[in-house]
């Protein structure tokens, strides 16, 4: 005999059962969109590919076909699902966590109008040329500073890249005055940092704030009293991975396996 149970009635142990989730249509996989910034590069690559085939240069043509696919893939802009918890700090970039260090804040965004002068934890995320390069804000708030610094193009995986390379600092302030700073750093191949925001803009956690062409790094500076939840060698997904919870002093850990 089959018994029917009312989801709103108490369970056998006396505890009420939770209501079922609202009906949803589900989510289907789809090809990610190509950011407008990359369409012109893809069009150029496709044009060169067609020219090679027209000229009868088959081998270079197939090589350029592969490069064309990579260019479009580089500028892919997938949809991300971001937590609405206001105390979560969300990863600003796809990539590999290569450095977690306690350092002074960058001088360009230090001081009373920036991140202060005390040492803070910095989480560095390295983006290879195969990662998504759309960057997102770790927290909701108002963009207080956008500071661009021209520089070199050494390997973004190196610690000194945060001081020597072309970079762009962004500071976002919450309604309660808490500020989070993060830095887009150009790498060996990257030659331009493209901002999508300016001082005074209101942003939501996980919102797109810029991109870097082609291969780079993003540093996030955690406020006092907050330790990173992530570990070295962990991969992050921009707009989704939680790298820290504000006020949480339990550091993350992990094992290579």
Active site residues: 216
Report the distance separating Cα 240 and Cα 93, nearest Å. Answer: 9
HSE, CB side, 13 Å, CA atoms: give it for residue 83: 17
Decide if 133 contacts 211 (C-beta within 8 A).
yes
Indicate if the alpha-carbon torsion angle 195, 199, 202, 205 is positive or negative: positive
């Amino acid at each position: 005999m089959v018994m029917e149970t009312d989801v709103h009635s108490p369970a056998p142990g006396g505890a009420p059962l939770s209501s079922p989730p609202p009906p949803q249509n589900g989510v289907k996989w789809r090809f990610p969109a190509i950011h407008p910034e990359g369409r012109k590069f893809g069009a150029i690559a496709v044009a060169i590919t067609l020219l090679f085939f027209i000229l009868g240069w088959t081998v270079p043509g197939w090589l350029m076909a592969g490069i064309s696919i990579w260019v479009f893939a580089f500028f892919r802009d997938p949809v991300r699902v971001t937590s609405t918890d206001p105390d979560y700090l969300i990863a600003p970039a796809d990539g590999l966590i290569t450095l977690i260090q306690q350092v002074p804040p960058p001088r360009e965004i230090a001081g009373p109008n920036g991140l202060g002068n005390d040492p803070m934890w910095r989480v560095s995320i390295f983006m290879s040329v195969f990662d998504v390069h759309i960057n997102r804000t770790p927290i909701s708030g108002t963009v207080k500073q956008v500071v661009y610094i021209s520089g070199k193009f050494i390997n973004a995986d190196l610690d000194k890249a945060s001081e020597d390379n072309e970079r762009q600092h962004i500071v976002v302030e919450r309604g309660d005055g808490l500020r989070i700073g993060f830095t887009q750093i150009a790498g060996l191949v990257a030659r331009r940092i493209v901002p999508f925001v300016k001082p005074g803009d209101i942003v939501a956690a996980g919102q797109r704030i810029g991109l870097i062409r082609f291969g780079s790094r993003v540093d996030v500076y955690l406020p006092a009293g907050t330790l990173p939840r992530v570990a070295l060698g962990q991969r992050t997904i921009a707009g989704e991975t939680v790298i820290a919870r504000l006020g949480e002093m339990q550091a993350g850990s992990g094992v290579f396996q």
